[in-house]
């Protein structure tokens, strides 16, 4: 099949016909090709550009994308990431902000499907970065072809296409694109992975081969997910904590590791799993019946719960990022003082579980503690563990 037909076919197969498709366009080669391919596939599209303001050129690049979209007759909008100093992993923070801004745009426009321009090369680089951090199967399975978030389905229709293949397609049509200089900055892990790929080529380790490995591992992960979901039933949710049935330890090691990782992410709200070595240390302590802490979570007496010092306050309508609460007074953790002020024993739950649940206070006086059955108030976990999605 000609390259033109193959690339258009990838897009046509991955994206639903008859829907408006939001296309995230930075002005780079991958996203510019995606926009043109969506049009070539006969799809109805709108475009969005995130001006990340991390480089002086970003505003001009957004203007350039706007001009391209005008020529193509594609509705276009720019979303600006207003940020101050960025602590921690810059690339990860930028990625999160980009997805959040694109999601907000799609929701506002009533667009249910958004296409992103990640390629086979991105897939191979992601696998290498997973190897560098000794990731488990889930972390080596590469980028997901699609996922749902906030009522929007994000698609990666070009994971079967190479970066240079897309640029050749653009050159043949006389379409220009912008080269982001950060793609050559080896301070970033993904750029190091890109350089490593070039060095590995003489061994026959290629982008295509690594992308195939990631696809194979994704199939293994999908099969594992069935067992993970089955053994996750050995975790009983109560008052925002999880009681671990010893039967969990009968599962194969990778299955129980994924169950525990899902539990830690559900409790902490973390997007990513802790490092594999830390998870194994934590699991060994659990199985031996010892107390242990990891990622803002704690194991004690067969329960997984939030670590008190990691609790967050009331933000965006949620307490600790998980609880929807309603009641009189200030919302704080119940804690030891709250336990002293109410009859919590009738709940049958351990004091350490109840201590990290939300309570309502008037100064030092406990007004209500819903998980302890005290007072008139409400506190509900927004997303119960069994609905969390163990393959998220």
Q: Is 303 found in the same domain as 155?
A: no
Asked if 142 contacts 212 with a C-beta cutoff of 8 angstroms, the reply is no
Is 391 contained in some domain? no
Q: Is 303 found in the same domain as 318?
A: no
Q: Is 234 found in the same domain as 363?
A: no
Non-local (6+) Cβ contacts of 157 within 8 A are 10, 11, 13, 14, 15, 34, 115, 145
> d(Cα 35, Cα 150) in Å, to the nearest integer?
23
Domains in the chain: how many in total? 3
Is 219 contained in some domain? no
236 token code pair: 């009983």
The boundaries of the domain holding residue 348 are: 312-386
194 token code pair: 């890109």
Is 223 contained in some domain? no
Question: Does the model's pTM come out above 0.85?
Answer: no
Q: How do the pLDDT tens digits run along the chain, 392 residues long?
A: 566 789 999 999 999 999 999 999 999 999 999 999 999 999 999 999 999 877 778 889 999 999 999 999 999 999 998 876 776 676 778 888 899 999 999 999 999 999 999 999 999 999 999 888 878 888 899 999 999 999 999 999 999 999 999 999 999 999 999 987 777 767 778 889 888 888 898 999 999 999 999 999 999 999 999 999 999 999 999 999 999 999 999 999 999 999 999 999 999 998 888 888 899 999 999 999 999 999 999 999 999 999 999 999 998 889 999 999 999 999 999 999 999 999 999 999 999 999 999 999 999 999 999 999 999 999 999 999 987 655 44
Q: Where on the phi/psi map is residue 72: left (φ > 0), alpha (ψ -120 to 50), or beta?
A: alpha
The CA R_g of the chain, rounded to the nearest whole Å, is 24
Q: Is 323 found in the same domain as 294?
A: no
Asked if 50 contacts 79 with a C-beta cutoff of 8 angstroms, the reply is yes
Is 325 contained in some domain? yes
Q: Is 339 found in the same domain as 289?
A: no
Q: HSE-up of 338 (CA within 13 Å, CB side)?
A: 30
Asked if 329 contacts 361 with a C-beta cutoff of 8 angstroms, the reply is yes
Q: Is 320 found in the same domain as 299?
A: no
Q: Is 268 found in the same domain as 174?
A: no
């Amino acid at each position: 099949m000609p390259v033109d037909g193959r690339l258009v076919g990838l897009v046509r197969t991955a994206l639903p016909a008859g829907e408006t498709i939001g296309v995230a366009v930075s002005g780079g080669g991958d996203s510019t090709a995606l926009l043109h391919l969506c049009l070539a596939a006969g799809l109805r599209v709108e475009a969005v550009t995130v001006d990340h303001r991390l480089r002086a050129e970003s505003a001009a690049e957004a203007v350039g994308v706007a001009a391209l979209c005008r020529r193509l007759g594609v509705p276009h909008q720019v979303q600006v990431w207003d940020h101050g100093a960025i602590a921690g992993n810059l690339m990860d923070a930028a990625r999160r902000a980009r997805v959040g801004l694109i999601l907000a745009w799609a929701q506002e426009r009533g667009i249910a499907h958004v296409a992103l321009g990640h390629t086979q090369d991105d897939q191979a680089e992601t696998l290498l970065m997973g190897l560098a951090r000794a990731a488990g199967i889930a972390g080596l399975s590469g980028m997901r072809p699609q996922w749902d978030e906030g009522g929007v389905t994000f698609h990666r229709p070009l994971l079967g296409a190479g970066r240079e293949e897309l640029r050749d397609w653009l050159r043949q049509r006389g379409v220009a694109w912008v080269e982001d200089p950060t793609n050559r900055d080896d301070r970033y892990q993904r750029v190091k992975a890109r350089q490593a790929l070039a060095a590995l080529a003489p061994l026959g380790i290629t982008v295509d081969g690594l992308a195939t490995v990631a696809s194979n591992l994704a199939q293994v992960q999908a099969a594992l997910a069935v067992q993970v979901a089955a053994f996750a039933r050995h975790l009983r949710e109560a008052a925002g904590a999880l009681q671990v049935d010893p039967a969990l330890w009968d599962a194969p090691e990778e299955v129980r590791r994924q169950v525990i990782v899902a539990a830690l992410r559900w409790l902490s709200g973390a997007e990513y799993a802790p490092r594999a070595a830390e998870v194994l240390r934590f699991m060994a302590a659990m199985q031996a019946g010892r107390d242990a802490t990891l990622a803002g979570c704690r194991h004690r007496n067969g329960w997984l719960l939030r670590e008190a010092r990691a609790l967050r306050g009331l933000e965006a309508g949620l307490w600790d990022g998980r609880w929807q609460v309603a009641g009189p007074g200030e919302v704080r953790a119940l804690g030891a003082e709250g336990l002293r002020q109410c009859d919590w024993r009738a709940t049958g739950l351990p004091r350490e579980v109840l201590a990290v649940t939300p309570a309502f206070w008037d100064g030092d006086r406990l007004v209500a503690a819903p998980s302890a059955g005290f007072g008139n108030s409400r506190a509900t976990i927004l997303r119960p563990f069994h609905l969390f999605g163990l393959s998220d």
